[in-house]
A = this chain, B = another copy of it.
Amino acid sequence: MSRETPSGDELLAVLAALASPHRLRIVAALAEGRSYVSALARRLRMNRPLLYMHLQKLEAAELVVGTLETAPDGSSVKWFDLAPFALTLTPQTIAAAVPTLTVPGQKDEDSQ
């Protein structure tokens, strides 16, 4: 679901999710194929709970999809797939998204 014009909040969520070296690396790793938490932790050499947290942030931003696959025997593995996203960052796309940012009281008044 590569949206044309994301809402301000969605845009912000995606940006915040990607603004981290760890999470960028996670995305890059998943671009080569699905994986699961423990394997990824070994591969990227990072603490598992830490990776877990980062994956949750990516998932919250809908950049990644995690599915807990419980085998017939009962053992479970949580697979993570990269969501196919694509967004363009330009002054125009940002200006278009900003008005829909939900925050307290902010208004435009004078210019110049």
Chain A residues in contact with chain B, CB under 8 A?
Answer: 8, 11-12, 14-16, 18-21, 24-25, 27-33, 35, 39, 42-45, 82, 84-92, 94-95, 97-99, 101, 103, 105-112
Contact = CB atoms under 8 A, between A and B. Distances in A.
Contact of A98 (B12, B24, B101, B109): B24
Contacts of A108: 29, 43
Instruction: Please give the count of copies of this chain that the complex contains.
Output: 2
A99 to B, nearest CB: 8
Contacts of A21: 8, 12, 101, 103
B31 A94 contact: yes
B39 A112 contact: yes
Given A16-B19, A112-B35, A24 B88 contact: no
